Amino acid sequence: MKFSEMPYTRVDIEKLSEDFDRLMQEFDAAESGEEQFAVHQKYYKLTDHVSTLFTIAEIRQNIDVTDEFYSREKDYYDKYMPVYENLVVEYQKKLFHSRFRPWLEAKIGPVAFKNMELAMRSVKPELVDLMQEENTLTTRYNKILASAQIPWDGEILNLSLMSPYLCHRERDVRKAAWEKYTAFFVENQEEIEDIYDRLVKNRTRQAEKIGYDNYLPLGYDRMRRNDYDRDMIESFRGQVRRDLVPFAEMLHERRRTRLGLSSLHYYDEGVFFAQGNPVPLGTPSDILDAGRRMYRELSVQTGEFMDFMCENELFDVLGRKKKKTGGYMTYLPDYHAPFIFANFNGTNGDVDVITHECGHAFQGYLSGQDPIREHSDITMETAETHSMSMEFFTEPWMDYFFGDRADDYVKMHFEDSVIFVPYGTMVDEFQDIIYSNPGLSPAARNEVWRDLERQYRPHMDYSGNSCFEQGRFWQKQHHIFNLPLYYIDYCIASVDALQYKSWMDRDYKGAWESYMKLCRLSASKFFTALIEDAGLNNPFEDGCIRHVTAGLEKNL
C-alpha cells in the first residue's frame, strides 16, 4: 500500500491494556510450547499494528512539525508510549519465565530472551512518569531545531537547508554560513542547555529509582547491549585514540594541502576539494531514478527492494521548511514496509540517503520476511554495519549520481568515513563522562567537550567563533539529546564497513556474499558471533583497528 493511502487511527491505550490482559491469560492457559507460541503469534499481530500506527503518526508529524493533528498525536504518544512499553514487558515476563522456556527459546532464539531480560531491567511501571517527562523534553528540543529560521541571501532557511552553504567551495561563503548557523544556537543556548540539564537529571533519577548509581547501566540496557559492556567500549575508544586518530589527522593534512590552505578552520570541516565537493546531478527525482537503476544492477534482491520502495511512496526526502531535521529509516510492520525520511539539500548527503538509509531499509525488507519477529530486533551496531557497508558496496555506480566527479566522491567518502570515527567516539566518551557526573554545570559540560576535542580532533580551530570555542558544538548533535549512548554504534559499524571496503577491493563478489549473509542472519545471533560468521574481525579485539588502519594506509 502507498504511504499516502495508509489509514491511521489513534491507538486506544485502555483497549490495548485489555487486549494484553486477554493475551496473557491465554498464554497462561496454554498447555505446551506450541500452544504458547500460537499465542505469541497473536502478540506479533497486536504489536505490529500498534507499531505501525505509532510510526505513521510519527512520520507525518516529522514531515510537517506544524501539523496540528499529528502534533497532538505526538503529544499523546509521548505520554502513553511508556505505558505501552510496560505492557510489552509484562507480557515478555510471561514468555521469559514460561514453563516451556526451552521449547520457546529453541524456536525464537537466545538473543530474544537476552533482550527480554534487558527490557525487564530497564522498563518498569515506577518509571512511567519520568519516561513521559523525558519524551516531552526531547520533543521540545526537536521543535526548537525544526523552528530555525535563518535569513540567507533573501530567503529564510532551516538548519537542513543551510547545509550546502556550510560546505560551499568559497571559503568566505561557508564562513558566513557557519556564523549564521551558529547564531541560531547562541540565540537558543539557554533553553537548549536547560533541556539537556533536565534530561541528564531525569535519566539519572530513572536509574537511581531502580537501584543504579547513574544512568549508564540503564542506558546500556535500553540500547540492548546484549553482547558487550562498558569496559569493552572503553577499550575500543582507546584503540581509536591510539591507532585511528593519527591516521585521521594525516587525512586532514592531505585535505588541507588539497584545499591549498595554510591551516584548517572549523568552517573548512566537511570540505574536501578546492573546486567544491561533488554534488549530485539532476533533481531529487533523478537521484531516486539513478538509485533504482543502481540497485537493479547490484543484485536481484536489491532491485526488487528498490522497486517496492518507489512504487509504494516509501521515501519522503525533499527538504522543506516545516520538516524535522535529519534523516532515518523506520519500519511499518503491517505492510512489511521500510520507510526512509530525509532532507535533500543539494549536497552529496542526498546520495548518502540512497546508500546509507537504503542499507538499513534493504536489511529491514529482508528481515521482514522472517516469521520470527524477534530476529528483526537487531542491535544498533549491527544495523549501522548494514547501512555503512552499503555506502561502500554502491561505490561502483557513483557515476550515475556524480558524472565525471564520481572518483572525487569515492575519495571524499573514504576520507569522511575514516575521520568520522574519532568524532563519533568522542561523542560517546562525552556522554559517558556526563552521565558519570550528572551534577556538572552546563559550563563544565562544555569544557568536557573541548578537552575531548583536543584528544580526538586536535586539528580543530574554532578561533573567531566564541560559541564553539566555549565547547558548545555538541548541542547541534541531536543523538546526544534523543538517543543517549547511541553514537558509538556508528563507530563500531564503521570499523566493520572499512573492513568490507578492503575486502571488496580484493574480492567484490566474496564481500557481497558475506554482506548478504550478515543481512539474512539479522538478530538470530549475538553481534560478535554475527561478525565472526560473516568473516570480519571483531572490532573489540585489541589490534583490530591497528590492522584495519594498516590495510587502509597501504591503499592510499
Q: Which one of 134, 165, 180 terminates a domain?
A: 134
Q: In whole angstroms, give the CA distance from residue 342 to residue 551.
A: 33
Shortest CA distance to 492 belongs to which of 393, 388, 415, 390? 388
Quote the pLDDT of residue 122: 95
Shortest CA distance to 88 belongs to which of 377, 361, 334? 377
388 and 242 in one domain?
A: yes
129 and 240 in one domain?
A: no
Q: In whole angstroms, give the CA distance from residue 371 to residue 36.
A: 15
Q: Which one of 97, 113, 134 terminates a domain?
A: 134
Residue 107 lies in a domain: yes
Q: In whole angstroms, give the CA distance from residue 108 to residue 224.
A: 17
Q: Which pLDDT band holds residue 337 (cuts at 50, 70, 90)?
A: very high
Q: How many CA atoms lie within 13 A of 280 on its CB side?
A: 25
First to last CA, the chain: 47
C-alpha dihedral over 485, 357, 67, 138, to 10 degrees? 0
Q: 404 is in which domain, residue-wise? A: 230-280+373-556
Angle at 364 between CA 361 and CA 366, to 5 degrees: 115
392 and 270 in one domain?
A: yes
Q: What percent of the chain has pLDDT over 90?
A: 93
Q: Which pLDDT band holds residue 555 (cuts at 50, 70, 90)?
A: confident
Quote the pLDDT of residue 36: 98
Q: What is the CATH number of the domain that holds 468?
A: 1.10.1370.30
Dihedral of alpha carbons 236, 242, 246, 252, sign: positive
| Entry pTM | 0.92
Angle at 207 between CA 113 and CA 221, to 5 degrees: 25
Mean pLDDT, rounded, for 536-555: 93
Residue with cell 556538572: 440
Q: In whole angstroms, give the CA distance from residue 464 to residue 342.
A: 32
pLDDT (tens digit, 9 = 90+) per residue, 457-513?
999 999 999 999 999 999 999 999 999 999 999 999 999 999 999 999 999 999 999
Q: In whole angstroms, give the CA distance from residue 231 to residue 429.
A: 12
Count of structural domains, the chain = 2
C-alpha cell at 293: 537503476
Residue 213 lies in a domain: no
For residue 407, give the amino acid letter.
D
Dihedral of alpha carbons 398, 353, 304, 372, sign: positive
Dihedral of alpha carbons 73, 339, 378, 351, sign: negative
Q: Which pLDDT band holds residue 556 (cuts at 50, 70, 90)?
A: confident
Residue 18 lies in a domain: yes
Quote the pLDDT of residue 332: 97
Give 49: exposed, middle or buried? Use CB within 10 Å, 0-12, 13-18, 19+.
Answer: middle
CA distances from 16 to 21, 51, 94, 264 (A): 9, 12, 17, 56
Residue 195 lies in a domain: no
Q: Which residues contact 155 (CB under 8 A, 6 or more apart)?
A: none
Mean pLDDT, rounded, for 343-370: 92
513 and 394 in one domain?
A: yes
Residue 541 lies in a domain: yes
The answer to which of 16-25, 161-170, 322-331 has the lowest mean pLDDT is: 322-331
Query: Chain-wide mean pLDDT for the chain?
Result: 96
pLDDT exceeds cutoff 90 at 220: yes
Residue 364 lies in a domain: no
Residue 398 lies in a domain: yes
Across the beta sheet with 337-344, what order do the strands follow?
315-318, 337-344, 328-332
* E strand or H helix that includes residue 309: helix 300-311
- Asked if 48 contacts 308 with a C-beta cutoff of 8 angstroms, the reply is no
Q: Which pLDDT band holds residue 358 (cuts at 50, 70, 90)?
A: very high
φ/ψ of 160, rounded to 5, equals -65, -40
442 and 553 in one domain?
A: yes
556 and 414 in one domain?
A: yes
pLDDT (tens digit, 9 = 90+) per residue, 223-277?
999 999 999 999 999 999 999 999 999 999 999 999 999 999 999 999 999 999 9
266 and 127 in one domain?
A: no
Residue 365 lies in a domain: no
Q: Which one of 103, 134, 165 terminates a domain?
A: 134
